[in-house]
Amino acid sequence: MIGPPMAETVPAVEIRNLVKDFKTSFRRQPLRAVDGVSIRIEPGEVYGLIGPNGSGKSTTMKALLGLVAPTAGACAIFGKDSLKVDSRDDVGFLPENPYFYKHLSGAETLRFYGKLCGLGGRCLQERVDELLALVDLEAARDRRLGGYSKGMLQRIGLAQALIQEPRLVILDEPTAGVDPVGSRQIRDLIFKLRERGITVFLCSHLLEQVQEVCDQVGIIFQGRMIREGRLDDLIAIEDQTEIVLRDASPGLISQITALVENTPGTTLVRTGKPRTTLERLFLREIRAEER
C-alpha cells in the first residue's frame, strides 16, 4: 500500500497542462492566453517565468492564485487546489503595479492584511515591525501610501505578501517602473527570501535580474512554454570554456594564445577584458557620490 506523500515531496507549485481561454467581444473565436503550460516548483526554489508582453505570464499567475479559473488543466499550491480558499494560506502575492489603499499608512496596510490572515494582538504588531524593518520602511511607517514613491510601494507590497509568513511568494513584475536602486533593494529582498527557504515564483521583463536570482527559468511565448530548466544548464555554452585571469602580463597571454593555436581541434574564440553591467556601474557611481 502506498502511503500519503511526505511533506518534502509535495511541490510548492504544480501547474498541469494549464489552458486559459478568454471570451472576446469582437470575434467568436476565444483568445487563448495560456496553452498547455506545466510548471513544477520545488520548495525553496526561485523560479523565473519570462516572456514578452501578452505571452500569458500574468494569467498563469492569476490561475495559480484562483483569480481566474482554468479552461483546462489544474493548479495546486503545496498540494492544495488553487480554486479552494485554503490554498491561499501559504502564499503571498505582489501584483504588477499595485496601488493599495492610499488612505492607509504603511503600518496600517500591513495590519489590515495581517488581520485578514487571522493575525492579531502582539503577534501582529511584532510581525508588522519586523517586516517594516525588512523592507527598510521603518521611517515611513506612519506616512500614508499616497505619499510613497514607486519603489516604496513595491516594498510595502512585498511586505504585505509576507505578512502571514507564507512558504510561497508570487511576484508579478516586482521591479516594474522602479529605479535601479529600488530595483536592487527588491532583488536583495528576494535573495533574503531564498536564504530563508521561501519559494519564490516571479515573472519579469528584466532578464538580467532573473538571471541573478533564479534557480529555474521558464520561457513562455504566445501562451506556450517553449523552454524550461535549471538556469545554469540553459545558459551554459557547452562547447566553450571561459578562463578569467587577473593581472596577466602580455607575455603570458601570448603564450596561452600560442598554446591554444598549437592544439588541434581547439579554437580561440575571443580574448579581451570582461565588462561590468550598466546597472552595476550606475549603482557604483551613485554610492561613490553619496560617500
Partner 1 sequence: MSTSAHSPRQGSHCGRILVIAVHAFTQLARMKVFYFLAIFAVLAIVSNFLDWSQLAGPEAVGVNVLRTIKSTSFGAMHLFSVVLSVVATALLLPKDAEDRTLYTILAKPVPRIDYLVGKLAGVLLLVFVSLVLMDVLMTVVLQIRTMMVAAEQETMAAAMGYTPEAIASLRADTLANGSSWALQGAVFAVFLRASIMASLALLVSTFSSSTLFTTMVSFVVYFIGHFQADARDFYLQAGQAGQGGLERAITLLVALVLPDFQLFNVIDAVIEGQALPVRMLGQLTLLGLFYAVVFTLASWFIFSDKEF
* Contact set with partner 1 (CB under 8 A): 62, 65-69, 85-86, 88-101, 103, 112-113, 115-119, 130-131, 134, 157, 160-162, 164-167, 170, 192, 196-198
Sign of CA dihedral 86, 92, 95, 101: positive
Query: DSSP states of 34-78 as a string?
Result: EEEEEEEE-TT-EEEEE--TTSSHHHHHHHHTTSS--SEEEEEET
HSE-up (13 A, CA, CB side) for residue 126 = 5
Distances (CA, A) of 256 to 2, 238, 244, 247, 248: 59, 21, 12, 14, 11
CB of 59 closer than 8 Å to CB of 20 = yes
- Shortest CB 179 distance to partner 1, Å: 21
- Residue placing its CB nearer to partner 1 in the complex, 93 or 148: 93
- Residue placing its CB nearer to partner 1 in the complex, 33 or 213: 33
- Shortest CB 262 distance to partner 1, Å: 56
- Shortest CB 66 distance to partner 1, Å: 7
Interatomic CA distance for residues 60 and 108, integer angstroms: 30
- Residue placing its CB nearer to partner 1 in the complex, 197 or 251: 197
- Shortest CB 247 distance to partner 1, Å: 41
The count of other CB atoms within 10 Å of the CB of residue 121 is: 7
- Shortest CB 163 distance to partner 1, Å: 8
- Residue placing its CB nearer to partner 1 in the complex, 19 or 283: 19
- Residue placing its CB nearer to partner 1 in the complex, 73 or 98: 98
- Shortest CB 68 distance to partner 1, Å: 4
- Residue placing its CB nearer to partner 1 in the complex, 83 or 283: 83
Buried b (16+ CB within 10 A) or exposed e, 40-53: ebbbbbbbbbbbee
The count of other CB atoms within 10 Å of the CB of residue 160 is: 24
